[in-house]
Amino acid sequence: MLLAALRSDAGDGSAEYLRLRQKVVKFFEFNRRQFADDLADVALDRTAEKLQEKGQLETIQGFAYGVARKVLLEDLRRERKERKMLEALFRDLQLATDSHPVELRHECLMHCLAELPKDKGDLMLRYYEAGWGEKGRIAAELGKSDNALAQNIFHTKPKLKSCIENCLAKKLIR
Amino acid sequence: MTHDRETDQTLRRYCLGELPRHQHRLIEKSFFEDDGLFDRLLSTEEQLIAEYVHGTLPERERLRFESYFLTTPQRQQRLRELSEAEAVNVVAPPVAPQSTIAPPGGGSPTLLKRLWAWLRNSSPMLQVAFAVITLAILGALWATFVRLSRPSPLAPEQAANPPSTPSPDVAKVQTPQQPDANNTHPTSTPQPSPRSSPPAKSPTPPPSPTPREYATPPSPTGAAVAAILSPGLMRGGSQVPSVKITTDTPSVLLRASLTEQKFALYSATLLDEERHQVRRWRARGPQGDAKVTTVVFDLPADGLSDGYYYLILYGVGPKGEAVKVDTYPFEVQRQ
């Protein structure tokens, strides 16, 4: 659909599509996104969906910019939320939140969560991402009481903490 | 001409993130709709990288380039490509964790090459001095290596008196409050149940957990697992001991260690992580020596599932009343 809409007298639209994609990728790069290619795919998929819904767009380029901008804002929001979760978890584990670059801390956290048994790693992530009131929902989903869930988290933390400390120490040496 | 220069300057500032927000957005919207502007933006970006590689970027822009522009993997990759293509040595800026990973073949060989070039161009006296210093360093390193590789005179003594190991018939799960010296010994070994016949001696010892894990190894087929538990709901970062059981484990012996022996008899209840009672034991006397006194409670392994448990120990008072002594948390891992 997007290709068809981009089709011109000169070609089948593939060159125009690649050009548009390059612009979207650059847009995310200039806004300092780590995974510009992935975000560009999301933005172009959404543009194609909208095009299918509406049938026709005034200018695809301008519309794609609008969609890319929306995807960017969503990604910034996700990043902010993730950073907040990371800070909360590090504070809770009594680890310094300013001793290492945030990317490094994130990398170590993800590595150590993967080291835990899968259900525990997922649970930690969900628990710390959850806002007020959401923790009760997680407990209910798992068929546990709020207190049992908190205890579960409490007992998993020391293992996670020692893993993160080791990981950060190794990264510094490297 | 002036207009072009202004546009280039604006694009340059856009690349370095120096434009006000509204202008930043305006450029973005414009390059989506204007192919010519987009091409100029691409060439501005390339030009910035090239100037950085050649070291011709003004100081202010260089700092901005490193702190703002070079923060995505794509740009760091582009910089590496351009540096390699032009065979220019660029010191990677410390902007992201990626920079901590040494590029293949980077760093030391370049430094050595520079040192070699400098040495070749220096005076003969300096060359001789350098050779002497290098030989002296190598000699010192060799002497250190020879000294360290000699067997230590203490070694035979240490072999004759190995550090004490836990008795083989006592399986033990240590809590971090009572770690063994250096955490080097296996923290537990399986112990036969008093009811079951002793297992045949195995020529190889059971696998020991890694030092940071406080866990029993899974029991050999048919053997009971015993665990020494230490009291306390450990606050502030200690690890809860793990009791690892398999489908073949018939029973688990929980040995609650006493910090002080106040009572002649002790009873206990076992709670799951929901604090529901799983089991209750009648009063019994403590066992052990002056060093470690424990109260042993046994239960079938199939009564335990994965999760956290709390053994609540009660002392039996003179009138038969139960007095809470301590809580012993532990984790069960079925394998």
* Closest by Cα among B324, B184, B162 to B256: B324
Rounded distance between C-alpha atoms, residue B198 and residue B6, angstroms: 90
Q: What is the pLDDT of residue A43?
A: 95
Question: Chain A contact for B310, CB < 8 A?
Answer: no
Structure-block tokens of residue B101: 């990973």
What is the identity of the amino acid at B197? S
Whether A158 and B32 lie within 8 Å, measured CB to CB: no
Whether A155 and B240 lie within 8 Å, measured CB to CB: yes
Whether B237 and A30 lie within 8 Å, measured CB to CB: no
Whether A161 and B237 lie within 8 Å, measured CB to CB: yes
Alpha carbon separation from B68 to A31, B64, B94 (Å, rounded)? 10, 6, 12
Q: What is the pLDDT of residue B273?
A: 80
Chain B residues touching A34 at Cβ < 8 A: 72-73
Interface test with chain B among A17, A21, A23, A149, by most B beta carbons within 10 Å = A23
Q: What is the pLDDT of residue A174?
A: 52
**Phi (first) and psi of residue B296, to 5 degrees:** -100, 130
Whether B275 and A147 lie within 8 Å, measured CB to CB: yes
Search chain A and give the residue with CA nearest B17. A30
CB-based contacts of A52, cutoff 8 Å, min separation 6: A1
Q: What is the 3-state secondary structure (H, E, C) of B169-237?
A: CCCCCCCCCCCCHHHCCCCCCCCCCCCCCCCCCCCCCCCCCCCCCCECCCCCCCCCEEEEECCCCCCCC
Interface test with chain A among B11, B72, B278, by most A beta carbons within 10 Å = B72
Rounded distance between C-alpha atoms, residue B326 and residue B230, angstroms: 9
* Run of H or E residues at B84: helix B73-86
Tell the burial category of B106 from Cβ atoms under 10 Å away from its Cβ (0-12, 13-18, 19+).
Answer: middle
Q: What is the pLDDT of residue B134?
A: 80
The total number of residues written for chain B in this structure: 335
> So what's the ipTM on this one?
0.71
Q: How far is B117 from chain A (nearest CA, A)?
A: 28
Rounded distance between C-alpha atoms, residue B94 and residue B74, angstroms: 16
Q: What is the pTM of this model?
A: 0.50
Rounded distance between C-alpha atoms, residue A14 and residue A3, angstroms: 6
Nearest Cβ partner for B237 among A26, A94, A144: A94
Contact between residue B185 and residue B210 where contact means Cβ atoms under 8 Å apart: no
Positive or negative: CA dihedral B261, B263, B266, B269: negative
Alpha carbon separation from A172 to A108, B103, B168 (Å, rounded)? 12, 16, 41
Interface test with chain A among B32, B48, B234, by most A beta carbons within 10 Å = B32
Alpha carbon separation from A78 to A24, A32, A33, A82, A129 (Å, rounded)? 19, 14, 12, 6, 11
**Phi (first) and psi of residue B17, to 5 degrees:** 65, 35
pLDDT digits (tens, 9 = 90+) for A73-117: 999 998 888 888 888 888 888 887 677 777 788 888 889 988 888
Contact between residue B199 and residue B193 where contact means Cβ atoms under 8 Å apart: no
* Run of H or E residues at B327: strand B322-334
Whether B75 and A29 lie within 8 Å, measured CB to CB: yes
Adjacent-strand bridge partners of B215: B242
Interchain CB contacts (distance < 8 Å): A and B: 79
Q: What is the pLDDT of residue A125?
A: 85
Q: How far is B154 from chain A (nearest CA, A)?
A: 32
pLDDT digits (tens, 9 = 90+) for A25-59: 999 999 999 889 999 999 999 999 988 888 777 78
Structure-block tokens of residue B13: 């500032």
Whether A29 and B68 lie within 8 Å, measured CB to CB: no
Structure-block tokens of residue B243: 């009791």
Search chain B and give the residue with CA nearest A157. B237
Q: What is the pLDDT of residue B153?
A: 44
pLDDT digits (tens, 9 = 90+) for B104-150: 444 444 556 566 666 665 667 777 777 788 888 888 888 887 777 66
Rounded distance between C-alpha atoms, residue B108 and residue A174, angstroms: 15
Nearest Cβ partner for A155 among B38, B275, B308: B308
Whether B212 and A151 lie within 8 Å, measured CB to CB: no
Structure-block tokens of residue B64: 């901005």
CA A101, A103, A105 angle in degrees (round to 5)? 70
Which long-range contacts link A33-38 to residues 24+ away (Cβ below 8 Å)? Answer: A33/A72, A33/A75, A33/B72, A34/B72, A34/B73, A36/B72, A36/B74
Point out the residues of chain B with pLDDT beneath 50.
94-109, 152-213, 236
Search chain A and give the residue with CA nearest B310. A151
Rounded distance between C-alpha atoms, residue B213 and residue A116, angstroms: 12
Rounded distance between C-alpha atoms, residue B254 and residue A134, angstroms: 37
Helix (H, G, I), strand (E, B) or coil at A171: helix
Helix (H, G, I), strand (E, B) or coil at B334: strand
Chain B residues touching A174 at Cβ < 8 A: 100-101
Rounded distance between C-alpha atoms, residue A48 and residue A40, angstroms: 12
Rounded distance between C-alpha atoms, residue B232 and residue B326, angstroms: 7
Which long-range contacts link B272-280 to residues 24+ away (Cβ below 8 Å)? Answer: B272/B307, B272/B308, B272/B309, B273/A144, B273/A148, B273/A151, B273/A152, B273/B307, B273/B308, B273/B309, B273/B310, B274/A144, B274/A145, B274/A147, B274/A148, B275/A147, B275/A148, B275/B310, B278/B303, B278/B304, B278/B309, B279/B303
Rounded distance between C-alpha atoms, residue A159 and residue A140, angstroms: 25
* Closest by Cα among A44, A48, A39 to A5: A48
Q: What is the pLDDT of residue B226?
A: 82
Tell the burial category of B18 from Cβ atoms under 10 Å away from its Cβ (0-12, 13-18, 19+).
Answer: middle
pLDDT category at A10 given cuts 50, 70, 90 is low
